[in-house]
Amino acid sequence: MKLLTRTLTLCLALALTNAAPSLLPEVAAEVAALPDRCAGIEFDAITLDEQGKFLFFKDNHLWKGFHGPAQPSNESFKELHGLGHVDAAFRMHSAENPDDHDHIYFLVDEKVVRFYNQSLEDGYPKEMTEEFPGVPTHLDAAVECPKGECMTDSVLFFKGHDVHVYDIATKTVKTKTWSHLPQCTSVLHWAEHYYCFHGHNFTRFHPVSGEVSGNYPKDARNYFMKCPNFGHGSDYKVPKCSEVKLDAITTDDTGKTYFFAGSTYMRLDTIRDGLHGFPITRSWKELSNGVDAVFSYNDRIYFMKDDNVFIYKGGAHYTLVEGYPKSLKDELGIDGHVDAAFVCANEHTVHIIQGGTMRDVDLTATPRTITREAPLPSALSDIDAALCGQDGVKVFKGSQFYLYGSPMILVTGRIIVAPQSITSAMMGCQD
């Protein structure tokens, strides 16, 4: 029985019957023994589990998710009992090795313990030297770093200010010293960003260079847990699906799909980190006032806002191309407000929707000019966003979308397409 339930049940029973008052000190002591992360503690380890839920470890306790009381860690990972407190924990990223991918690793002194779905795997615990040769023991923290964010699929092991980068495929280790970074007691990889936790604070850093950009450290209670009188002021709340209204949507060359609404964006293609809304400036710092339209082409993401185009280089961390923003006229040969834009896979034409017209621009031409204009069906006025995928072109209008087989069918088809409703599976909204 969970401690909170037990406490409430006992208190209610005692209030009603005045029975067994001697139990009260025992329960009170048990409650008092629970660590309170809102009091400002230093975590031993933090990781995500296979379903994308946060796990925070301190001594023999853990918290699951952003809120709720601590619980004994051996209730979820019983084999950890007797091994000592966890030094480090991480969720492995090794997509080419499904027997390892998404498994949870715990590092305890000189041992490695591996779980999947909270079950200890055969052959564990193992010696650190056997599982990760060349990596020291008694570590402070560890975190996975997928290819694309690091040069190869890797694990970063932290001890003091030294970072031991373990290449999963070659089993080789390179050591770096990041003396500018605080000494991390736990490290978290979440939504393509890396966080070093130290004391009750955290510092975000680049996984290759260790570079810290922005104003850090920050108090973890404002961002990674729900505590009274704390919070970073984000007003984002998961909307009802019937209330969703997109400003823009795109899928980049690596298959990452983002939607934008107001000053917020959400990445839709992964459930490993859960579906969360973030300020657009978190990844594209120059876009402080939202966006009108967006499309992806040739490892670049093009954002349109008012009369300007912002182009960002692709990759795990987007960077604004030098010389941008530029005007829509100079970059794409068009004038006026853009409602939506999209590029289909393996094509070199961006389809730009302005009012009731779709304009095609050849992205290989210099200078870029409009190659075709065509009216949209009358039902598709006031379009919010559009996306081209394997199933065709989705045109979004409010909380609904229209699906067309191709851009050509969109402008020439005579059959009236019935609208479909946005669902929680598509956008992470509430049905």
Give dist(CA 82, CA 74) in Å, integer: 9
CA dist., res. 165 & res. 151, Å (int): 10
- Mark 360-376 as b/e (b = at least 16 C-beta within 10 Å): bbebeeeebeeeeeeeb
Angstrom distance (rounded) from CA 70 to CA 35? 7
Separation in Å, CA 287 to CA 32, 282, 335: 47, 9, 20
CA distance 12 to 259: 48
Beta-bridge partners for 224: none
Q: Measured between alpha carbons, how far is 3 from 9 in angstroms, rounded to an integer? A: 10
Torsion of CA 284, 325, 389, 50, to 10 degrees: -10
Q: Is 180 known as a binding-site position?
A: no
Q: Is 276 annotated as a binding residue?
A: yes
Token pair listed for 207: 């996984």
- Distance between CA 151 and CA 316 in Å, rounded? 11
| Residue 282 buriedness (CB in 10 A; 0-12 / 13-18 / 19+) | middle
CA distance 260 to 292: 9
Closest by Cα among 287, 261, 265 to 275: 265
Q: Report the 3 state secondary structure along 345-383.
A: CCCCEEEEEECCEEEEEECCCCCCCEEEEEECCHHHCCC
Q: Tell me the three state secondary structure of residue 183.
A: coil
Residue 424 and residue 430: Cα distance in Å, rounded?
A: 6
The DSSP H or E segment spanning 157 is: strand 154-159
**Phi, psi (rounded to 5 degrees) for 144:** -80, 150
Q: Are 298 and 312 a contacting pair, CB within 8 Å?
A: no
- What is the strand order of the sheet 257-261 is part of? 248-251, 257-261, 264-267, 277-279
Residue 249 corresponds to which tokens in the numbers above?
């949507």
Which residue shows structure tokens 């839709």?
A: 268
Residues in the annotated binding site: 232, 276
Residues in the annotated binding site for heme: 232, 276
